[in-house]
Structure 1
Amino acid sequence: MARDVDRLAGWVRDAGGIAHRRAAENAGFGVAVRRAAVRCGAVERVRCDWLATDSAPADLLTAARNAGSLTCVSAARHRGWWMPEDVPDGIHLRLEPHGASPISDVTAHWTERIAPAPGFGLIESVEDTLAHLAVCLPPENAQVVWNSALQTEQITPEAIRRVRWRSERARMCAEHASDQSDSGLETIVAIRLSVWGVPMRQQVVLLGRPVDLLIGERLVVQIDGFAHHSSSSQRSKDVAFDAQLVLNGYTVLRFTYTQVLHDWDTVERTIARAIAAGAHRAA
């Protein structure tokens, strides 16, 4: 029995530190082994349905203890979607509309599901996560995370618009959803400049490489993401590409992560001055 208990604890750790009892049963761990593992402290039983080890992520443990599932910003972070840095921390759980009140300090979303949650339901579906983000975050941040989700989950804007969204804010996010941004920073820039009414396109291929944003015919805006442009070799390639664009008649404006997030007024004014000078027009 001790050997089976060790095998069960190892299996739960390999499953991410927390697993549903039915999944353990399907893996061949019967009720006697599960009870023995709980008695000796190899695993913890959480609300009868879950088995957890000391390696279980805190947010998933909170979801299990509250009979809920991660959603909104919590599920988005778990799925690796890009998140603006001003989005506050905290655990967001989806709970049944008539379920018990949470026993932990969480942000509760009392809703019916749009789509079934995958697996045994500790993390909400992509669609439900997006629906909660749309109503929980400011519109710009919500759109940024939506667009990141489309890239990460490889969902087309057309597919996301076919979902029967239940809120006006979710429908607006779906209407403006785009999979063209290479990063969340690009989405922020594109959203903020879209109100100008100047023609602009994302990820247009020029001289064999895509540019982040092409305004009009000749004004290129490049955004240095925090991770993607941090190395010296990548920086050298970017500078060389900028030079080639200039030699071919383009005006290139390159901005950093910090500028976009913390000095937007300067970024906006610089681009506006370039447009005023006609830099976006063909010669």
Structure 2
Amino acid sequence: MPVSAIRVRRLCTELSGVARTSELAELGVDAYSLRLAVDAGEVVRLREGVYGVADLPAEVQTAVRHGGRLGCLSRLGIDGVWLLEQPASVHVAMMRTGRRRFHSECRCITHWSDSRLAGPAVALDEALVQVLGCRGEEEFFVALESAMRKRLITRSGIERIRSRVPKVHRGLVGFARWDADSGLESLLRLRLRAHGLALASQIDIPGIGRVDFVLGDRLILEVDGKQNHVDGFDSLIGTEHARAAAASKRHKDLVRDAVAAAYGFETLRFDYALVVHDWPLVEAAILAKVDRGLHLRSRVAGRGR
């Protein structure tokens, strides 16, 4: 008697969502039952001898068809880790003894690994190590802090990463925080670190409220990762509401900056486009304030004498 399609799916799920025919055969699933499960839409054939549950994420299916496991940026994206740029291609982790399969419309990016892979996707700490080699320090750092903030990684996972990255990059792991509010804030801290500038993060200032950063003791840096403009014309009502919300936020920001000025603070405010795509301008604005000593109350007070 054939195994029901629902049971075949359940068995695949118990095997991390992807199973070889040999694994299913050991559990009593014959070729006829497997074919019925495919016809019923409960499982899909990913490549010869390998099947997966039908609702397996598309990126995972692509990685398995390629002959490996989901890795690097694509693995992080599954868990909603903050990325500077969404990957245009699926990143696949392959054991060095494995064989790539160039499937239909294959644009996969392959990462070779010496560690034994299990399941349809690599572990999160493995993916982060891959990001460092693939995309460099900045993408690695913002992804690491995002994973830490979301509690997707443990302290032991952090230590595994530290032990696996090159020594020159281990300081980045120690510099990472568990409470970074956004990837933009992570990027700002990292880039200013190169200038020897330390930022105090998420600071409550009496009379002003919580600010993203304070540099020195009087320069407030605010980073807004949300779009404050309207894209497209989906509906007139929706557009007007979005414009009103953006105008209200802009007004609140102006009031907040004015209150900060009344308390003796300087404020610089940046958005996503500035930090990511026009960093030289952001850098110049901050360094100009620092060069004039406007981040320190003692320097400003001294000028008044």
After superposition, the C-alpha distances for 1:77-133 in whole angstroms (9 at most, x for unaligned) are 122111113x6521111112211233343222221338x75xxx1121111011101
AA matched with 1:193: L
Contact 2:218 2:296 in 1 (8 A): yes
Q: What TM-score, normalized to structure 2? A: 0.73
Could you say what secondary structure the match of 1:153 adopts? coil
The Cα shift of 1:9 comes to: 9.4
- Inter-partner Cα distance in structure 1 for 2:139 and 2:39: 46
Alpha-carbon separation, structure 1, partners of 2:154 and 2:185: 18
Q: Match for residue 217 of structure 1?
A: 217
Whichever residue aligns with residue 130 of structure 1, its letter is L
- 5 Å matches for 1:138-153? 138-153=136-151
Displacement of 1:68 in angstroms is 1.4
Match of 2:78 in 1: 78
The equivalent of 2:98 in structure 1 is 99
Change in Cα spacing, 1:163 to 1:197, as seen in structure 2 (3 Å) is: closer
Match of 1:63 in 2: 63
Which blocks of at least 5 consecutive residues in structure 2 are unaligned?
A: 230-241
- Determine if contact 1:46/1:52 at 8 Å carries over to the other structure: no
Pairs aligned (count): 270
Indicate the SS of the match to 2:163: coil
Distance across 2 between alignment mates of 1:155 and 1:101 = 29
* Structure 2 letter corresponding to 1:176: F
Q: CA deviation at 1:238?
A: 3.3
Contact 2:220–2:268 at 8 Å: present in 1 too? yes
Higher mean C-alpha displacement, 124-133 vs 161-170: 161-170
Max Rg structure: 2
Distance in 1 of aligned mates of 2:228 and 2:151: 19
Deviation at 1:203, TM superposition (A): 1.6
Task: State the AA in 1 paired with 2:255.
Answer: A
Summarize deviations over 1:207-232 as a string: whole Å, max 9, x none.
Answer: 37432121000100001113599843
Structure 1 gap segments, 5+ residues each:
none
Please report the TM-score for the alignment, with normalisation by the length of structure 1.
0.78
Letter in 2 for 1:219: L
Question: In 2 relative to 1, CA 238–35 (structure 1 residues): closer, same or farther, beyond 3 Å?
Answer: same
CA distance in 1, matches of 2:70, 2:173: 21
Task: Select 1:273's aligned residue among 281, 284, 288.
Answer: 288
1:122 and 2:120 are equivalent in the alignment = yes
Residues 161 and 216 (structure 1), Cα distance of their counterparts in 2 relative to 1, 3 Å cut = farther
Matched to 1:112, the amino acid is D
Pairwise CA distance, 1:172: 4.3
Structure 2 vs 1, CA of residues 280 and 41 (structure 1 numbering), >3 Å: closer, same or farther? closer
Deviations 1:142-171 (A, max 9, x none): 222222222223547786146453330653
Distance between the aligned counterparts of 1:150 and 1:96, measured in 2?
Answer: 27
| Cα deviation, residue 241, structure 1 | 2.8
Matched-pair contact (CA < 8 Å) for 1:143–1:177: yes
Alignment partner of 2:269 out of 240, 254, 263: 254
Report the residue type matching 1:171 in the other structure: R
Find the aligned partners of 1:158 and 1:41 in 2 and give their Cα distance.
Answer: 40
CA distance, structure 2, for counterparts of residue 228 and residue 80 of structure 1: 22
Amino acid at match of 2:266: T
